[in-house]
Amino acid sequence: MNVRRLVPADAPGYRDLMLAAYAQHPDAFTSTPQERAALPLAWWEARVTDAPAANECVLGAWTNDTLAGVAGLSFETRAKARHKATLFGMYVRPAHRQEGVGARLVEAALEAARGRDGVGLVQLTVSAGNRAAQALYARAGFVPFGVEPFAVAVEGGFVAKVHMWCDLDLSRAHPAHLQSLAP
């Protein structure tokens, strides 16, 4: 398995994978397939930009030239929030589940967050009841810190979202922040 950051040339495959994800798992993702299918390819290309300082990056796991899974990471831009990154859009194709693909992607996302100056924690939300994803995140070092009730509306009701965070090493984030916040 090869894990690497997606680049604009990967946008069509990334788009197809995520449209399947939204359709298969309406409880796990906030976007609907219709909302995302309506976006131009340029939107997906922008999401997988390879600019080094981009606010978002997406990691992809490849097995035999197939994009088996993806995980996104977004970075805060405002000075007071720059110590936080957010993991989003985690998905592994059904045929490749329980093979360690998800674990490799989370590990790669945490590595990418560590590589960004001043980032000290990664946060995410996961739907209550999504045991596979919650177990995956817990094994990677994420801990829950709250539950948002009625977070997303799905067919038949509402789903709550569990908020989780992973401490990378907050002390590393502090000095740069204190300097950048000085008057």
Interface residues toward ligand COA, by CB under 6 A? 25, 28, 90-92, 97-103, 126, 130-133, 135-136, 139
Shortest CB 173 distance to ligand COA, Å: 24
Shortest CB 92 distance to ligand COA, Å: 4
Output Rg (C-alpha) for the chain, integer angstroms: 16
Query: Nearer Cβ to ligand COA, position 2 or 180?
Result: 2
Query: Nearer Cβ to ligand COA, position 135 or 154?
Result: 135
Cα separation, 53 vs 58, in Å, equals 13
Shortest CB 28 distance to ligand COA, Å: 4
Cα separation, 159 vs 180, in Å, equals 39
Query: Nearer Cβ to ligand COA, position 100 or 146?
Result: 100
Shortest CB 124 distance to ligand COA, Å: 7
Query: Nearer Cβ to ligand COA, position 127 or 173?
Result: 127
C-beta nearest to ligand COA: residue: 102
Q: Would you say the C-alpha torsion 130, 137, 170, 58 has a positive or negative sign? A: negative
Pair 11, 36: CB distance under 8 Å: no
Query: Nearer Cβ to ligand COA, position 121 or 176?
Result: 121
Shortest CB 103 distance to ligand COA, Å: 3
User: Who contacts 40 (Cβ-Cβ below 8 Å, separation ≥6)?
Assistant: none
